[in-house]
Structure 1
Amino acid sequence: MSLLLAIAALLGSCTSAPRLLSFPFDAAGRSLNSPFMEATPRMAGRFLVFVSDRRGSQDIYLFDAVERRLVDLPGLNALDLLATSPAVSADGRTIVFVGSRQGQSDLYLYNRDTTQLQNLTDNLPAQVSDPTISADGSTIAFAASINGQWDILVYNRFGQPLNIPVEPR
Structure 2
Amino acid sequence: MPKTPAQRWLHWGITLTVAGLFVACSTMPNPLSLGSLNSGYSEEQPALSGDGRFLAFVSNRNGRRGILLYDVQRQQLMDLPGLNRPGEIAEHPSLSYTGRYIAYIADDRGRGIVAVYDRAIERSQPLTLWYRGQVRHPSISPDGRYIVYETGSRGQWDIEVIDRGPNIELDMADSPPSAEIKN
Q: TM-score, normalised by structure 1?
A: 0.75
Correspondent of 1:122 among 123, 129, 149: 129
Q: Find the counterpart in structure 1 of residue 42 from structure 2.
A: 37
Q: Runs of 4+ in structure 1 displaced over 4 angstroms?
A: none
Correspondent of 1:76 among 41, 59, 83: 83
Whole-Å Cα distance in 2 between the matches of residues 155 and 26 of structure 1?
43
AA aligned opposite 1:90: Y
Taking a change above 3 Å as real, the CA distance of residues 157 and 71 of structure 1, as seen in their structure-2 partners, is: farther
> Could you say what secondary structure the match of 1:146 adopts?
coil
Question: Does the 8 Å contact 1:26/1:33 carry over to 2?
Answer: no
Q: CA deviation at 1:63?
A: 0.9
Q: Find the counterpart in structure 2 of residue 137 from structure 1.
A: 144
Which structure would you say has the larger Rg?
2
- What is the Cα-based RMSD across aligned positions, in Å? 1.5
Taking a change above 3 Å as real, the CA distance of residues 61 and 26 of structure 1, as seen in their structure-2 partners, is: farther
Q: Find the counterpart in structure 1 of residue 21 from structure 2.
A: none
Greater per-residue strand proportion: 1
1:57 aligned to 2:64? yes
Q: What do residues 86-127 of structure 1 show as CA deviations (whole Å, max 9, x unaligned)?
A: 111111100011111222110011000011111100001111
AA aligned opposite 2:119: R
Q: CA deviation at 1:157?
A: 3.0
Taking a change above 3 Å as real, the CA distance of residues 31 and 121 of structure 1, as seen in their structure-2 partners, is: same
AA aligned opposite 1:35: G
AA aligned opposite 1:102: R
Whole-Å Cα distance in 1 between the matches of residues 88 and 75 of structure 2?
28
Question: Does the 8 Å contact 1:85/1:131 carry over to 2?
Answer: yes
1:147 aligned to 2:154? yes
Q: CA deviation at 1:26?
A: 5.5
Whole-Å Cα distance in 2 between the matches of residues 92 and 41 of structure 1?
13
- In structure 2, the gaps of 5 or more residues are 1-29, 166-183
Q: What do residues 24-67 of structure 1 show as CA deviations (whole Å, max 9, x unaligned)?
A: x9633111121111010011221110000001111111111112
Query: How many residues get paired?
Result: 134
% of aligned pairs identical? 38
Q: TM-score, normalised by structure 2?
A: 0.69
